[in-house]
Amino acid sequence: MKKWIVPIVIVLLILAGIQWGIGVNNMLVEERGTARAQWANVESSYQRRADLIPNIVATVKGYADHEKETLEAVIKARAEATKPEINIGEGAITPENMAQFQQAQEGLSGALSRLLVSVERYPELKADRNFLELQSQLEGTENRINVERNKFNSLAGEYNITIEKIPTNIIAGLRNFDPIALFKSAPGSENAPKVEF
């Protein structure tokens, strides 16, 4: 009987190690899946913004035909912003993909800002109910985008920390759990804008 104790202990340790590995793998799959699902929410919010833009452009166009250059810049920026696609599959949310996506979205944000500044020259447009409603929806969408990005960064950050912790990093390395890139602020956004009167 004594000769079986060592092999039994070894088998039990191996089974415990396998069970631990399966548990860690399942936890990582769940955390990565949650982060990916949140990424889909981020994309959905950006899509909502892209869907609002044609209505805003059409409304502004009716009042401000000579803002053609600004309107064309918004349309072009919208087209550029909808090009980069990050497939949420294996290892797709890389720093390079995220930087490309963010750059396109920042271009659209800049074009929209220029459009809304140009609207200030048209009091009748600023009073138009359709425009005010679209502008309000756009502001709400921008807030939603920020909320969804923050949630994504939180979930992806938790996942990234988990795959780096010892001993979880062993299973993460064996099963190719890659880090997920996070949203970063636009370059120069740490500086307050200069306001002159």
pLDDT for the residue numbered 35: 93
**Does residue 64 sit within a domain?**
yes
pLDDT for the residue numbered 77: 87
pLDDT for the residue numbered 14: 93
Q: What is the CATH number of the domain that holds 113?
A: 1.20.1440.20
**Does residue 187 sit within a domain?**
no
**Does residue 81 sit within a domain?**
yes
**Does residue 104 sit within a domain?**
yes
Whether the Cβ atoms of residue 93 and residue 86 lie closer than 8 Å to each other: yes
Buried b / exposed e over 151-184, threshold 16 CB at 10 Å, is bbbebbeebbebbeeeebeebbeeeebebbbbbe
Distance CA(36)–CA(92), nearest Å, equals: 10
**Does residue 114 sit within a domain?**
yes
Distance CA(38)–CA(183), nearest Å, equals: 13
**Does residue 186 sit within a domain?**
no
Domain extent at residue 39? 2-174
**Does residue 189 sit within a domain?**
no
3 state SS for 19-60: HHHHHHHHHHHHHHHHHHHHHHHHHHHHHHHHHHHHHHHHHH
How many alpha carbons fall within 13 Å on the CB side of residue 189? 6
**Does residue 146 sit within a domain?**
yes
- Number of domains within the chain: 1
For residue 33, how far is the Cα from the chain centroid?
Answer: 15
Distance CA(35)–CA(63), nearest Å, equals: 43
Give the 3-state secondary structure of residue 192. coil
- Name the pTM for this structure: 0.79
Q: Which residues contact 91 (CB under 8 A, 6 or more apart)?
A: 176, 178
Give the 3-state secondary structure of residue 115. helix
Going residue by residue through the chain, which has 197 residues, state the pLDDT in tens, using 9 for 90 and above.
778 888 888 999 999 999 999 999 999 999 999 999 999 999 999 999 989 888 888 888 777 766 777 788 888 888 888 877 776 666 678 888 888 888 888 888 888 888 888 878 788 877 788 888 888 898 999 999 999 999 999 999 999 999 999 999 999 999 989 999 998 877 655 554 453 43
Residue where the block lists tokens 């166009």:
61
Whether the Cβ atoms of residue 88 and residue 39 lie closer than 8 Å to each other: yes
pLDDT for the residue numbered 87: 67
